[in-house]
Each structure stands twice: as C-alpha cells, then as structure tokens.
Structure 1
Amino acid sequence: MNEKKNKKKQNRLIMRSAILLVLIAAIGYTIYNSATADDVTVLEVGDKAPDFALADLEGNDHKLSDYKGQGVFLNFWGTWCKPCAKEMPAMDRQFDVYKDQGVQVLAVNIAQSDFEVQSFSDQYGLSFPIVIDKTKSVMTAYNIRPLPTTVLINPEGEIERIVTGEMTEEDIKGFMEEIKPE
C-alpha cells in the first residue's frame, strides 16, 4: 500500500515537473519572440524601397530596381481578400491610363498557388504584372500587415506613401498621378 502511494507521488512529481518545464519554455519563447520582433525595420515615407526580384505567372522575373525612373504602384494582396478583389479592376483600368505615362503596377500575391492566382487574374481580366511572394520574404521586408496594402514608390525609388485598406478608383487615380514621373 505504501508503495502505491509513493508511486502516485512520484508520478505527480514527474507530471508537475513536465508542466513546469513546458510553461518555462513557452514564457522563454514569448520573451525571445518579443525581443527579436523589433529587428524588423518599419518602412516610412522617404525611405528607399527595398529591392526584390519575384517571378510572374509566365516565369519572367520582375526586379523592383528595373523600374527605376518610373513610379511603381506596389500592391500586396490575396485572392481570398474581398477588398483586394474589389479594387483590382479599378487598378487595371488606371494601369491602362498611366502605363504609357511612366507608372507601373506590380501586384504581389502573398504565397498562394499559381493556379489560384492565375484563376483570379483570368476572372478579372488583369493586364498588369502579378508576381507571387512564395516565401513571404518581400512581405516581411516591407513589413506588410493587413491586405490590401499598397506602397507607392516614386521614380527615385523612394517610398512616397503607404496605403492600407481598400482604395476607390478615384484614390487609385490620384495615387498614380502622385508617383508619375514629371
């Protein structure tokens, strides 16, 4: 009988120790995560836009630095994002107006499959380049949180404005006018 009590006490001690270790590990991870989260640089208006290269649906590379001298309407989006779907046709219409005036649209999809993105593009008949950030490295470099987010880059390669949330066609037109080369 005494052996059973000792065995129960020993099992309880092991269980409590295991729970305590898990709690200590969770607290340590949270502290580490909080400390290293500050390492991400938050981009601001006037900062140089981080360069990147991503492939479009046809396999062509699009490097941000290749657009130097032009305004770049850099839009981060997802097919599941309702505001993204609402603003895409307006972006396409304004792209048709401004592409010959030195404003490029580059739509960066966040880590979805080629099939999903191609289906979405076909559904809306989009003509601007769409690239996929499969590893989310560009999203991280630009510190993108909500979708959609649009980063307006001037012809000198600097961030002119960061727009979060859905844009109207009038907004889009005004923003393209803002980054159009003189």
Structure 2
Amino acid sequence: MTRRSSAPMPSGKHRRLTLLAGVLLTGMLAGGSAMAAGSWKAFSAPGGQAPAPLALQDLNGKPVDLADLKGEVVLVNFWATWCEPCRDEMPGLDKLSRTLAGRHFRVVGVNAGDGEPKIRQFLERVPVGFPILRDSAMETMKAWRVRVLPASFLVDKNGMLRYQLVGETNWEDAAQQAPIMELLK
C-alpha cells in the first residue's frame, strides 16, 4: 500500500517556477568550475540576430528596447537577486559601465523573476548606474535560452549578437574586456 500525501498540488505557475529554479540550480551544479570561470564564446556566425526581441520596462516603468540601442555596443546581463554570483559581479559591471561611458557602450541588466520591491531592496545595498529591466515572467530569459545565471551577451553596434558568457566573471580583467574593446573599434 502506498501512502499519498495530502498536501495540495502547487499551482501551474508555482510548478513552472519551481521547475525553472531546479533547472537553473542543476545547470549551475553540473557546470562546475568551467561555468564559474566565465569565458566569452563567440557565435560561429557573427552577425546573428538576438534569439528574441528584448523590449522590457525598467524599474520606473520606462520601456527599453534593444532595437533602439543600435549604434552602441550593448552588454546584456541576465541576473537575479537570489543568485550569489550575480550579486557578486554587479559592482564590477557597474564599474565597467562607468569606465566605458561615452564610448558608445551600454550595460543593460535584465532581472529574471524577482519582484520590484526585492530588486529595489538589492539596489539600495548595491547601487548601479545602468538600467535594470524586469523580466518578471522570465519569458525573455527563456527566449534567449538562458539556463544558468548570470549570463551575459554582447551585441554589436549593428544590433547583432556576437558573444555569450555564462557564469560570473571579473569585469576588470583585460581578457574579459577584450571582446568589448574589439566591438568598440
């Protein structure tokens, strides 16, 4: 005789979020040190389109559309407040953004699934000068095929996806800045 739990089944949305969290955690654990090192992967066909449009609102409700940022090199960073490596690299991303200000470079942070109060609470402790966009339903994250956080993408001045980096990185490292500098030429 098997005993059945009397606990109620979680809602569909809760099941999807729990499943997605499990997939992310599994990806982080399975990735081991290779993921933690964080190195850029060039796309085999430079000039490819982004996997999906990126048009979200920032924390003030202002719409930000990647298509409107043509003419700039854009570093799109997917992150979450519960992700320790994401939190750890935020000050470095902010410093990179400030260091390259005025060089047609922009960092855009895309928060995956956190509520606005939680994001604002984090940003009070770790302020950043670049826009934070909300992907509350994680639809953009899924469309960009992000499976591990943090995940960063470099988009060139023509709006084409050129590089991807999975895992935390040291944004002050010249080797990590090299693809950015190449695209800024």
TM-score (norm 1): 0.71
In structure 1, the partner of 2:25 is: none
**Cα displacement (A) at 1:51:** 2.1
Of 151, 158, 181 in structure 2, the residue corresponding to residue 177 of structure 1 is: 181
Of 54, 57, 60 in structure 1, the residue corresponding to residue 59 of structure 2 is: 57
1:138-153 to 2 correspondence within 5 Å? 138-153=140-155
What is the total number of aligned residue pairs between the two structures? 138
Q: Distance in 1 between matches of 2:81 and 2:182?
A: 27
Q: Distance in 2 between matches of 1:132 and 1:91?
A: 17
**Cα displacement (A) at 1:174:** 3.0
Q: Distance in 1 between matches of 2:124 and 2:178?
A: 26
Of 161, 164, 170 in structure 1, the residue corresponding to residue 163 of structure 2 is: 161
Q: Distance in 1 between matches of 2:167 and 2:77?
A: 11
Q: Distance in 1 between matches of 2:179 and 2:126?
A: 21
**Cα displacement (A) at 1:142:** 0.5
Identity among equivalent positions (%) equals: 30
In structure 2, the partner of 1:72 is: 74
Tell me, yes or no, if the aligned pair for 1:150 and 1:162 is still in contact at 8 Å: yes
Tell me, which stretches of 5 or more residues in structure 2 are unaligned? 1-42
Higher relative helix content: 1
**2:109 counterpart of 1:107:** yes
Q: Over aligned residues, Cα RMSD in angstroms?
A: 1.4
- In our comparison, the structure showing a higher alpha carbon Rg is 1
Tell me, which stretches of 5 or more residues in structure 1 are unaligned? 1-43
Q: What letter matches 2:181 in structure 1? A: E
TM-score (norm 2): 0.70
In structure 2, the partner of 1:82 is: 84
Q: Distance in 2 between matches of 1:103 and 1:70?
A: 5
